């Protein structure tokens, strides 16, 4: 009898793109009543990137995608599917995934957007993993991109300090057993839909002058509630994902959490009993880039030699929805 050969999805290549324009805490001091010291102590952020006039989610996503394809040695026309995790599409429709497909020339690929806010990349990896495991697709591009600074209320000091723009992308393909994406844990709790949200701009509340006057087209957030949710869910989701494949925190070589706030990251790492040297942090440079934060962090971790072939990584995201997602990945390439 033929032995069943389980195929996993592995990351074949990864890349990132951020806008050139750096916005420092010192510049924010001139915009709202805040200080570099307050921002850094409460969030760990020193600066973030913000879109220039020509930058959009599609342009940043396409730039990250091209780098990921190069790093994977995969041609655009080999792609079967593009999944774009974003909360900031260029248009309500068509999807930003289709705009990226057009920009990179991946005309053999199906394409759709995935709306899970900051959890978009972890949701995207889990979704792509299913298509590859069931054998229906061979090459999938998963992008996490957001341009939240276009939706920020620049007079609200409790939110405008947090966010930055950027994109990260990964090319997935089949790899052998016990490597690649070993497990995924996804979750949502719609009861918290208004803890961090953008009320206006879609069909229930189209943008109108009256809504703009109330800034309802800008991000609104209940910061301390989101904070408590994040601290609890990040550790839980990671431990569940590890348990699914018989692993524990001791087996983790590198933890790459959503880069929202250094205090949330440290609390999650503590819950998982992980020493700081196993936690990748770059929130100081980019702020919270939403769906892009994990693939940007993974790209920088790889480029700085923090990830080696065979390493066990845990990535975890949380965000609006409320949503969360964790993946355990055994790194399958050099």
Could you say which of 25, 84, 218, 258 is catalytic? 258
Distance of CA 99 to the CA centre of its chain: 19
Is 197 an interacting residue with respect to ligand COA (CB under 6 A)?
no
Dihedral sign for Cα 177, 255, 294, 310, please.
Answer: negative
Specify the stretch interacting with ligand COA by CB under 6 A; choose among 6-14, 65-73, 77-85, 155-163: 155-163
Q: What is the largest CA-CA distance in the chain?
A: 72
Q: Of the candidates 40, 112, 197, 227, which one interacts with ligand COA according to CB under 6 A? A: 227
Could you say which of 118, 160, 218, 238 is catalytic? 118
Is 161 an interacting residue with respect to ligand COA (CB under 6 A)?
yes
Place of tokens 């408590």: 228
Is 105 an interacting residue with respect to ligand COA (CB under 6 A)?
no
Coil, helix or strand at residue 256: strand
Please check whether residue 110 is in contact with residue 81, taking contact to mean a CB–CB distance below 8 angstroms: yes
Total residues at interface with ligand COA (CB under 6 A): 21
In DSSP terms, which residues pair with 47 in a beta bridge? 24
Name the residue among 42, 40, 35 with its Cα closest to residue 263: 42
**Pairwise CA distance, residues 152 & 148, whole Å:** 6
- String of contacts with ligand COA for each residue 51-80, x by CB under 6 A: ------------------------------
Is 224 an interacting residue with respect to ligand COA (CB under 6 A)?
yes
Could you say which of 218, 288, 306, 327 is catalytic? 288
118 is catalytic: yes
Q: Of the candidates 150, 157, 215, 216, which one interacts with ligand COA according to CB under 6 A? A: 157
Is 260 an interacting residue with respect to ligand COA (CB under 6 A)?
yes
Name the residue among 146, 177, 142, 140 with its Cα closest to residue 162: 146
Is 34 an interacting residue with respect to ligand COA (CB under 6 A)?
yes
Coil, helix or strand at residue 79: coil
Is 24 an interacting residue with respect to ligand COA (CB under 6 A)?
no
Specify the stretch interacting with ligand COA by CB under 6 A; choose among 69-77, 170-178, 205-213, 217-225: 217-225
288 is catalytic: yes
Q: Show Cβ contacts of residue 315 under 8 Å, excluding neighbours closer than 6 positions.
A: 121, 122, 125, 255, 256, 257, 294, 298, 326, 327, 329
Is 237 an interacting residue with respect to ligand COA (CB under 6 A)?
no
- Residues found near ligand COA in the complex (CB under 6 A): 34, 38-39, 42-43, 118, 157-158, 161-162, 196, 221, 223-224, 226-227, 230, 260-261, 288, 319
So which residues are the catalytic ones?
Answer: 118, 258, 288
């Amino acid at each position: 009898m033929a032995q069943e050969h389980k195929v996993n999805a592995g990351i074949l290549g990864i890349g990132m793109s951020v806008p050139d324009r750096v916005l420092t805490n010192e510049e924010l001091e001139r915009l709202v009543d805040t200080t570099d010291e307050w921002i850094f102590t409460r969030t760990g952020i020193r600066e973030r990137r913000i879109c220039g006039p020509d930058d959009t989610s599609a342009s940043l996503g396409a730039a990250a995608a091209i780098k990921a394809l190069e790093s994977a040695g995969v041609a655009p026309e080999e792609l079967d599917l593009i999944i774009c995790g974003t909360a900031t599409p260029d248009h309500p429709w068509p999807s930003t995934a289709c705009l990226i497909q057009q920009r990179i020339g991946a005309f053999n690929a199906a394409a759709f957007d995935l709306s899970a806010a900051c959890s978009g990349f972890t949701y995207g990896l889990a979704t792509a993993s299913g298509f590859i495991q069931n054998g229906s697709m061979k090459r999938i591009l998963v992008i996490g991109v957001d341009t939240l600074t276009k939706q920020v209320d620049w007079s609200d000091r409790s939110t405008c300090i947090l966010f930055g723009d950027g994109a990260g992308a990964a090319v997935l393909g089949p790899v052998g057993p016990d490597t690649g994406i070993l497990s995924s844990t996804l979750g949502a709790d719609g009861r918290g839909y208004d803890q961090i949200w953008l009320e206006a701009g879609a069909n229930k509340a189209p943008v109108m002058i009256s809504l703009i006057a109330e800034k309802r087209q800008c991000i609104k957030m209940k910061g301390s509630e989101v904070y408590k949710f994040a601290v609890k869910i990040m550790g839980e989701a990671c431990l569940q994902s590890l348990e699914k494949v018989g692993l524990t925190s001791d087996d983790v070589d590198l933890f790459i959490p959503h880069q929202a706030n250094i205090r949330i990251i440290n609390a999650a790492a503590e819950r998982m009993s992980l020493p700081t040297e196993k936690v990748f942090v770059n929130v100081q440079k980019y702020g919270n880039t939403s769906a892009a934060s994990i693939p940007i962090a993974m790209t920088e971790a790889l480029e700085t030699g923090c990830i080696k072939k065979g390493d066990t990584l845990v990535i975890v995201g949380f965000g609006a929805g409320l949503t969360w997602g964790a993946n355990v990945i055994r790194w399958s390439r050099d």
